[in-house]
Amino acid sequence: MKRFAVIGLGNFGFYAAKALFEDGNEVVAIDTDKAKVQAVDPHASEAVIMDATDKESLKALGLETTDGVIVSTGTKISTSTLICLFLQEIGVKKILVKALDNDHAKILKKVGATEVIHPERDMAIRVSRRLSRPNILDFIPLAEEFDIIQVEPPGEFIGKSLSELNLRAQYGVHIIAIKEIDSEEFILIPGSSFVIKRGNILVMLGKEKDIKKIKALK
């Protein structure tokens, strides 16, 4: 079992703690607001009313032994920055912090954040991509220029095997999995003899410019 902490229990922090707990992890949820702590209590291993800008209080929780700490403390930049600094000094190895903007993100990186989260920006990008690319069912940003998408196969793919399509040579993309649109069936790294049929969803890795070529197909 892994152990995590979530500091700041607004909407983002609450649902982060709840999701981690539901995945079977030990979760310490922390906020200064008694009502928020009470609300998350059924969805956490330990719910603590505490000012996380108090370094000694943070030390007392033993957060250096956690597998990661999420910091989501609202609109006051100094609060999350100070907490991030203290977590780094305490010895927390993985610190994920919600940033308010790009400048805030730069500061957080300098004081110890291992990952900066831009939830509104990232969700806006995902929603917008799904609107502008209607045949893409989901979008996962990777390193620069690369995406993983879930896409319905174009009509000309239907009835053809992966070896016939030779997508790597033709389009520079890789089919890393195939699943059924209304089923939990999931084929990881399908063989070259796999024949694509209607109802398949292609999980595809490639550069954005190459994926656009497949998107243009009917």
Burial label for 191, CB within 10 Å (0-12, 13-18, 19+), is exposed
Specify whether the CB–CB gap between 153 and 160 falls below 8 A: no
The SS3 call for residue 159 is coil
pLDDT at 7: 97
Mean residue pLDDT across the chain? 88
DSSP 52: T
pLDDT at 130: 67
pLDDT at 5: 97
Q: Over its length of 218 residues, how does the chain's per-residue pLDDT go in tens digits? A: 899 999 999 999 999 999 999 999 999 999 999 999 999 999 999 999 999 999 999 999 999 999 999 999 988 889 999 999 999 999 999 999 999 888 999 999 999 999 998 888 877 877 776 677 655 555 555 555 677 788 889 999 999 999 999 998 999 998 988 987 766 678 888 989 999 998 898 988 888 788 888 878 86
DSSP 173: -
From the candidate CATH numbers 3.30.70.20, 3.40.50.720, 3.90.340.10, 3.40.640.10, the one assigned to the domain spanning 3-117: 3.40.50.720
Specify whether the CB–CB gap between 193 and 175 falls below 8 A: no
pLDDT at 142: 58
3-state helix, strand, coil in the chain (%, to 5): 40, 25, 35
CATH node for 125-215: 3.30.70.1450
pLDDT at 121: 80
- With vertex at residue 124, the alpha carbon angle to CA 40 and CA 172, rounded to the nearest 5 degrees, is 120
pLDDT digits (tens, 9 = 90+) for 120-155: 887 787 777 667 765 555 555 555 567 778 888 999
pLDDT at 209: 83
**What are the domain boundaries of the chain?**
3-117, 125-215
